[in-house]
């Protein structure tokens, strides 16, 4: 018997290590900076006697700065790779949390959120999704779905943030969370790599330098669409997807920022409100994985349209909930969470599919920059409605209409081949 001396043990595809590192960075930053903000909302209002609109404006300013920075961050991650941006972003975010804990005025409070915006811009979805998108093509939806489950699991941190605030008060809690940011996320950022070709891999862990396309063997690079950011901006495909996602982030940012104050206004205790708040991102895991898996099997546009329909129905239940009809929060948690969770996964995969990966970071950054207009408007409008009408219900019903508009926008998205010419077609 002749031994095969050329056999080598198969290496674990490094792309999955990157997915894992990005998962935990998303978990911590999402739980502390995004979902955890609602836990400090009421302590701030009680200590400083600020209005809900004034406090909500901090989230809006964070959204404005993140929106302005997103296209720039996208260009940087395409050029420098994700590791440098993640490393710097973790440090800046921790400084922002420290400053937040030392706030004594609205100016300092807004300044802290300015630092948080810079930090989270360079270690947020644009950078994390670009890192994953460079390493996957056929499995992009499920790989992205696993990564963004970090944001879903970040709901587990909300009760911890609430307990830290209740035990140590909110100032000390911010310092503890800043130290945790450095201890957990800084080492993880060093595990992330840029393009697989730089390390002897191909996307999805392919070992051959050619793939099948139209029953012919072609180089792997040539098999991928490659659209410049300037070309994407001229396509109706880009604007259909972006406007739908703009509606989503407006709805989502308002709900996440105001969920605990809203539940308190309808007679639900702070302890129960924190559990419901943590359940929202946790329930979204079903959409992030389930709709992510489905996005690799079916037309991503129709999967996204279905997700928007679920968000609309869930939000309708949210608006009709009360202390006597608390059961309506169950369909809200299931439908709304699965819907937005699925779209958070599909956002990266549709950009990767329609425009390729050569300018993925820049295009994704442009999408995020426009989406942030909704992130700015959503929390402030919801706070303004409550301050003037002493009820959140009207704005929830308006947002149901936005979800329906987003459904039609994404369902009518034309294929990219009919709206823009790829780079290799002259």
| Matching residue, tokens 């595990």 | 191
What is the pTM for the complete model shown?
0.70
Q: What pLDDT score does 417 carry? A: 58
Q: What is the mean pLDDT of residues 408-414?
A: 88
Q: Each residue of 264-276: b (16+ CB within 10 Å) or e?
A: eebebeeeebbeb
pLDDT tens string 328-337: 888 998 999 9
pLDDT band (50, 70, 90) for residue 64: low
Contacts of 308 (CB under 8 A, 6+ apart): 244, 247, 248, 339, 343, 403, 404, 406, 407, 410
Q: What pLDDT score does 216 carry? A: 45
DSSP state of 206: -
- Higher per-residue confidence, 27 vs 352: 27
Q: What pLDDT score does 291 carry? A: 85
| Distance from the Cα of residue 93 to its chain's centroid | 16
Write out the two tokens for 242: 């972006």
CATH code 1.20.1250.20 for 14-197+227-418 = yes
Q: What pLDDT score does 234 carry? A: 84
DSSP state of 217: E
Q: What is the mean pLDDT of residues 375-399?
A: 85
Closest CA to 306 of 398, 238, 407: 407
């Amino acid at each position: 018997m002749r031994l095969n001396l050329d056999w080598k043990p198969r290496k674990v595809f490094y792309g999955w290590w990157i997915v894992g590192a990005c998962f935990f960075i998303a978990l911590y930053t999402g739980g502390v900076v995004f979902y955890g903000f609602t836990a400090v909302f009421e302590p701030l209002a009680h200590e400083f006697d600020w209005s809900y609109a004034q406090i909500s404006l901090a989230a809006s300013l964070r959204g404005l700065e993140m929106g302005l920075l997103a296209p720039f961050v996208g260009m940087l991650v395409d050029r420098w790779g994700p590791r440098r941006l993640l490393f710097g972003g973790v440090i800046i975010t921790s400084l922002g949390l420290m400053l937040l804990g030392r706030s004594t005025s609205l100016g300092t409070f807004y300044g802290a959120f300015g630092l948080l915006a810079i930090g989270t811009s360079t270690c947020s979805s644009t950078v994390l999704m670009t890192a994953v998108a460079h390493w996957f093509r056929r499995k992009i939806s499920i790989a992205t779905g696993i990564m963004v489950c970090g944001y879903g699991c970040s709901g587990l941190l909300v009760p911890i943030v609430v307990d830290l605030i209740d035990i140590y008060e909110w100032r000390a809690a911010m310092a503890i969370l800043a130290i945790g940011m450095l201890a957990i996320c800084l080492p993880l950022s060093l595990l992330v790599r840029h393009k697989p070709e730089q390390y002897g891999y191909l996307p999805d862990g392919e070992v051959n330098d050619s793939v099948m396309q139209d029953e012919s063997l072609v180089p792997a690079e040539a098999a991928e669409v490659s659209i410049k950011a300037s070309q994407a901006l001229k396509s109706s495909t880009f604007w259909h997807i972006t406007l739908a996602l703009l509606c989503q982030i407006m709805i989502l940012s308002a709900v996440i920022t105001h969920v605990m104050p809203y539940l308190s206004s309808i007679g639900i205790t702070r302890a129960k409100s924190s559990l419901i708040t943590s359940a929202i991102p946790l329930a979204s895991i079903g959409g992030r994985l389930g709709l992510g898996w489905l996005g690799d099997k079916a037309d991503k546009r129709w999967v996204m349209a279905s997700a928007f329909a679920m968000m609309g129905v869930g939000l309708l239940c949210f608006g009709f909930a009360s202390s006597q009809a608390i059961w309506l929060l169950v369909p809200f948690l299931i439908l709304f969470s699965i819907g937005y969770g699925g779209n958070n996964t599909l956002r990266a995969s549709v950009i990767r599919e329609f425009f390729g990966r050569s300018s993925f970071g820049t295009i994704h950054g442009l999408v995020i920059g426009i989406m942030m207009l909704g992130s700015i408007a959503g929390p402030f409008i919801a706070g303004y409605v409550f301050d003037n009408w002493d009820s959140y219900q009207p704005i929830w019903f308006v947002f149901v209409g936005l979800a329906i508009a987003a459904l039609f926008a994404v369902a009518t998205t034309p294929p990219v081949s009919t709206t823009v010419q790829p780079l290799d077609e002259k």
